[in-house]
A and B are shown apart, each in its own frame.
Chain A
């Protein structure tokens, strides 16, 4: 088990929120870059995310970041660094753009580290026990999560079933326009609603209610979690102080 996987999910979630809120107050690219590097290290060695997977998980945030950087650099007023045609890149624009882009990356990598180290079941048990989430919502979410995993397969089955009567395209394969997609989506919706009604009844007939309940295999919550929280908040404070 990786170091982060052994820690309490509610504490980890709280720390992700704390880091995210802290970044909202920052507009200094250097401080944010330091936080990003620390976040990458936490995901790689704390949550045990493999190098390749970690890299792939960053792509959406980088893509978003590049967009934010370009828009800000070219649209903010300030000292002009480069001008060409209708475009002019300003110093202020670059700095603010880089800060906003890095902010997204920090929140992103913190979330990746959190999700990679937290099984859904542990998160819900912990949120019910330590954050007073209603068990009705928590277990409905867990059952929904289980159903979600089966959706791609069901979609493939429904698509194939619907294509049997579709007209053939020029390449000899069945072809349907957006109407076909809409029909398949409707069939999937009907199937999902029926399934979720049955799951809801199964949960209720097993006694799931808002009342008090016990937990067979609770998620631990102890001194190590306090150490983790203290450590993360301390480092955060140090970085913020160094950047100020």
Chain B
């Protein structure tokens, strides 16, 4: 078959501009049958928009001005709607909750086949095969409202591949999952790609998590890089593109696979034999240096204390009904001035519930919380928005007056929000909304700050900004407690880690001790990356671990100018 006629995807001169002004292009892209492509680029480069152009969601469902041509399996996308391409394109989006539409798992996977008019007798076996290919066979017969995010994504993937599409579009399929979910979906993706032989376009911003220990080898073999303004700057084999575009991508805040990151920051090629030695050399360098300035200070005064706390959602049914079952019980904890404490645990371990209780928003089922009113930043910044403009958002809950105006202005400046002051908060990017929610909470000047997954979904710059702001708060004499699934963030920001598992707080350790305790990691469903495991084995204390990670961050985020070989940076 000639290459031209055989192309699964043929994109020529594609340019799309959304109503809001964001867009992508010009893009030229051709995929042979079964070819796997990874699309990378900094936040806002239009990766998701590009993916949506490929199956017609832009402009058929999302209004946009589109130029150029997109054809899938010889069909012109502009002339066909999204539904008319369903037999050749399978799509998996990032939000597990809205990627699954029906109440029953088997119905959900059968749904695309029914829509294509598949004879009923053939549907049952196809549903079983698709669920088996995505590691979800045990979920058949379950109700979708009782599934975890990782399980929902596997069901969504089964529904995407059940029609045996020629092209699979994956839009950040693991970005909203915890470590367990990422691992399960990673395996499911690999199995599904192999089972269907479909060509695949993958967009994902946490490539370090998705690639796992396999590094570049765990990702599609062809990489396409978009620049910040949506143009294709690189297109080629993974290793080549990683070498050419790696420094630029890292500096722009992309989360690259660890082996690429280390090759850029420490030298060498991704995954070569010398990488282990270079990590050890880094650990050695920070270990021989003087103890970092943030070495454990004398503990500050206790600002918030919980004694015998039991927390849970739901209300007592009637006056004599049984009390709701606590999700966490016998919680004793103290938050001290000047420290950052991380709370880790599996999804559903009760972390958010505990934070709501410590913030006084949820009455404890038993025990008591002692301390002043705490500030709380919730996981989804949009849930907390109350103002029409960024400035009004920061001023919410403060008494009007010149003193408030001054504080609001100072807070906007601190978080780099002054240029956005008159914008609608709902129209900001995820990173901007996160900075706004922090600014709007910190302006209240509460002695204790609680933050629920504050780095979730952020690029590397956003993550560094949030963790830096939390560290600043602690240094200013406040107590900070954050929940976090990202072990690297925990290791680079926390002084102390609380581990929630099995309905209790089972440990209180420093990040290094956590990384060295396989039992605790398993209980909290955490999987440290290869880099963290190597560093944990090589450094003498938690402060040096933090210094090593800070050095890597500094080299990565300033990496565009080629700082390889610079000495380890002091923390903060």
Contacts and interface: CB of A to CB of B under 8 A. Distances in A.
A201 interface: yes
Given A160-B356, A209-B84, A213-B116, 15 more contacts: A121-B102, A150-B97, A160-B378, A161-B378, A162-B383, A165-B384, A165-B386, A165-B396, A174-B360, A174-B361, A202-B93, A202-B98, A207-B83, A208-B115, A209-B115
B98 A163 contact: no
B568 interface: no
Interface of B: 55, 57, 61, 81-84, 86-87, 89, 91, 93, 95, 97-104, 107, 110-120, 123-124, 127, 144-145, 156, 159, 163, 313, 356, 359-362, 373, 375-376, 378, 380, 382-386, 396-397, 426, 440-441, 444
A214 to B, nearest CB: 5
Contact of B145 (A146, A198, A207): A146
A38 interface: no
Interface in A155-171: 156-158, 160-168
Given A202-B93, A208-B115, A146 B103 contact: yes
Given A143-B101, A205-B82, A213 B95 contact: no
16 contacts: A139-B101, A139-B111, A156-B313, A161-B380, A164-B359, A167-B397, A187-B382, A191-B383, A195-B98, A198-B95, A198-B99, A202-B100, A203-B101, A206-B112, A209-B115, A216-B107
A164 B376 contact: yes
Contacts, number: 155
A235 interface: no
A203 B57 CA distance: 12
Contacts of B112: 206-207
Contacts of B114: 213-216
A189 B107 CA distance: 28
B385 A187 contact: yes
Contact of B441 (A121, A164, A205, A211): A164
A198 B48 CA distance: 13
A123 to B, nearest CB: 12
Nearest to B363: A173
Given A150-B97, A160-B361, A164-B361, A191 B120 contact: no
A198 B383 contact: no
Interface in A33-84: none
A200 B120 CA distance: 25
Given A165-B440, A212-B117, A149 B397 contact: no
A166 B102 contact: no
The 7 closest A-B pairs by CB, nearest first: A207-B86, A165-B397, A207-B115, A198-B98, A209-B83, A161-B383, A143-B101
Interface string A111-130: 00000000011000000000
B380 to A, nearest CB: 8
A157 B361 contact: no
A215 to B, nearest CB: 6
B374 to A, nearest CB: 9
Nearest to B352: A157
Contacts of B103: 120-121, 142, 145-146
A199 B101 contact: yes
Contact of A165 (B118, B159, B441): B441
Interface string A131-162: 00001000100110111011000001110111
Given A191-B382, A208-B115, A209-B115, A150 B145 contact: yes
Contacts of A208: 83, 111, 115
Contacts of B356: 160
A143 B102 CA distance: 6
A19 B81 CA distance: 43
Nearest to A156: B313
A215 B100 CA distance: 18
A121 B104 CA distance: 9
Contacts of A156: 313
Given A120-B103, A207-B115, A209-B83, A146 B383 contact: no
B359 A213 contact: no
A183 B373 CA distance: 22
Nearest to A167: B397
Contacts of A211: 117
B395 to A, nearest CB: 10
A214 B119 contact: yes
A86 interface: no
Contact of A157 (B91, B110, B378): B378
A85 interface: no
B128 to A, nearest CB: 12
B139 to A, nearest CB: 16
Nearest to A168: B373
A1 B123 CA distance: 25
A22 B66 CA distance: 57
Contacts of B163: 207
Contacts of B113: 214, 216
Contacts of B116: 207, 213
Given A146-B144, A202-B101, A204-B82, A164 B91 contact: no
A195 B95 CA distance: 9
A204 B81 contact: yes
A206 B159 contact: yes
Contact of B383 (A158, A202, A207, A216): A158
A210 to B, nearest CB: 9
Contacts of A195: 95, 97-98
Contact of B101 (A146, A157, A174, A183): A146
A158 B381 CA distance: 10
A168 B95 CA distance: 35
Contacts of A212: 117
